Amino acid sequence: MKNKLIVITSTIGRMGGAQMYVENKVKYFQSKGWDVFVFYYLWAENILLPGMVQFKDNYIPDLRYPIQFVPKYCKKKILAQIRDVVQPGEGRIVIETQLVLAAYWGELIAKDLKARHVINIIEEQFPDFDEKENAFFEFKLLAGDNMNATPKRLRKMFKDRFKEEYEKQIRKVAIPCANVVSSEVKDNYQFEDCDYTILSIGRLDKPYIPKMNEEIKKFAVSAGGKKLNVVYVGGSYDGSMEVTIPRFFKEVDNVRCYILGYVFPISRELIKKADVAIACANSVLVSASEGVPTIVVDVNDYSAIGVYGYTTKNLFKREDEKQETVSGLLQQILLDKAFENAGNVIVDIPDQNEVFERELSYFIERQKVEYFDVNSIYSIPIQLLSKTKYLIRKIINK
């Protein structure tokens, strides 16, 4: 009688924090005797993380559409496909959804499988919910099925509908990957001699990257001929940024670009070569934990928040910090040596297995579950219009 975990996410093909988190979770739950299934809706021709290859056939493209768009017969087909893969039995089934869009699907699938559905939304932005959508997420929160419910995230989720009683449901899940950096992986990259090395950690198709590059160029032009190596750890989904970035810096004589692509794990020796790093969200912790002064970029306006551990503790967006420029902070760190004697930053990255152990206990803490009728969220006219758009798009795509 095996317990089963189903994770519904966007893609398994990239090498971002979400994919690393899911792969680590898969390994942990499988080691505890659970059957684990990952379903996704963005096609992955090349799967970069070995632990995700086993789920390549679990591609369900219609999960990318809002639930009101998909006709009833297609929903039945999706439910049957998942049931055939999962093979529900006597054991407990838990479904985890990681995106707002997927949460509605997760509730529908959970009702079909008589499973518990928990939402663990790892997106950085939330849409504006209408009254019935808000009611669904309130239902999940009050039922104890919101797994990543911090005060800050709940206020972002519910906006002006936030209620003080929600804070009684606080539950924090720490998701940074603890196994990103390795001392066993050797740094075999050859870089030309330079005055300073700037390290960028994160996918190249993240929206802050173009503005960051403009700021690096601005600093390079004003740096009095100092030679800069800009090293990018990460790639873009379609490979376009690997062409665009070198072209952008082509006429800046004192900048050399090195795009390493997706690297996992990252050599500790490589990180230690950097004089400064630039990152956003949990990627900040990768370099900051190795003692490299790390500039944090705000996910909303793509300007700098500050230097992690020195002028900010925020990883995603500023609170009281004033808006900074990346070029200005590069000036302070590299030329003015403003942070040279500030001491080492203590970065608290939680033990991954301890996090997953808490999640496992949380998953099995309740037997009885109830379900929200997600099909009733949208009116019949909205559903008819949405399904018409869906069918037109299907015809065009063919």
Indicate whether 343 belongs to any domain: no
Say whether both 9 and 95 belong to one domain: yes
What is the distance between the alpha carbons of residues 223 and 216, in angstroms, rounded to a whole number?
10
What is the distance between the alpha carbons of residues 98 and 104, in angstroms, rounded to a whole number?
11
Say whether both 360 and 282 belong to one domain: no
pLDDT in tens, 243-295: 999 999 999 999 999 998 888 778 899 999 999 999 998 889 889 988 899 99
Task: Find out whether 107 and 136 touch, Cβ atoms under 8 Å.
Answer: yes
Indicate whether 340 belongs to any domain: no
CA 301 to chain centre: 18
Say whether both 167 and 228 belong to one domain: no
Indicate whether 342 belongs to any domain: no
Say whether both 128 and 257 belong to one domain: no
Say whether both 315 and 231 belong to one domain: yes
Binned at pLDDT 50, 70 and 90, residue 125 comes out as confident
What was the pLDDT predicted at 342? Answer: 58
What is the distance between the alpha carbons of residues 280 and 305, in angstroms, rounded to a whole number?
10
Say whether both 32 and 159 belong to one domain: yes
Instruction: Output the six-digit token pair for 397.
Output: 């795509």
Which residues constitute the domain of residue 359? Answer: 4-177+353-397
- Is residue 103 exposed (0-12), middle (13-18) or buried (19+ Cβ within 10 Å)? buried
Say whether both 241 and 148 belong to one domain: no
pLDDT: is 327 or 150 the higher one?
Answer: 327
Report the percentage of the chain scoring pLDDT > 70.
Answer: 96
Say whether both 159 and 207 belong to one domain: no
Indicate whether 346 belongs to any domain: no
pLDDT in tens, 58-86: 999 999 999 999 999 999 999 999 999 99
What is the distance between the alpha carbons of residues 138 and 57, in angstroms, rounded to a whole number?
34
Instruction: Output the six-digit token pair for 149.
Output: 């419910």
- Final residue in a domain of this structure, among 307, 335, 363: 335
Indicate whether 280 belongs to any domain: yes
pLDDT in tens, 182-239: 787 777 788 999 999 999 998 898 999 999 999 999 999 999 889 999 999 988 877 8
Instruction: Output the six-digit token pair for 85.
Output: 């893969």
Which is nearest to 284 in space by CA: 244, 316, 260? 316
Say whether both 169 and 231 belong to one domain: no
Say whether both 73 and 113 belong to one domain: yes
Binned at pLDDT 50, 70 and 90, residue 398 comes out as low
What is the distance between the alpha carbons of residues 199 and 75, in angstroms, rounded to a whole number?
45
What was the pLDDT predicted at 367? Answer: 66
Full strand arrangement of the beta sheet holding 93-97? 35-39, 4-8, 93-97, 116-119
- Final residue in a domain of this structure, among 309, 335, 361: 335
Task: Find out whether 113 and 88 touch, Cβ atoms under 8 Å.
Answer: yes
The residues, any chain, with a CB within 8 Å of residue 84's CB and separated by 6 or more, are: none
pLDDT: is 390 or 130 the higher one?
Answer: 130
Beta strand 266-267 with 4-8 is: unpaired
Indicate whether 61 belongs to any domain: yes
- Final residue in a domain of this structure, among 281, 305, 335: 335
Phi, psi at residue 351, to the nearest 5°?
-65, 125
Q: What is the CATH number of the domain that holds 51?
A: 3.40.50
Say whether both 25 and 155 belong to one domain: yes
In the chain, the number of structural domains is 2
Indicate whether 77 belongs to any domain: yes
Say whether both 360 and 391 belong to one domain: yes
Q: Inter-axis angle of helices 352-363 and 17-31, to 10 degrees?
A: 70
Q: What is the CATH number of the domain that holds 316?
A: 3.40.50.2000
Please state whether the peptide bond connecting residue 265 to the residue before it is cis, i.e. omega within 30 degrees of 0: yes
Indicate whether 153 belongs to any domain: yes
Q: What is the dihedral of CA 292, 293, 298, 299, to 10 degrees?
A: 0
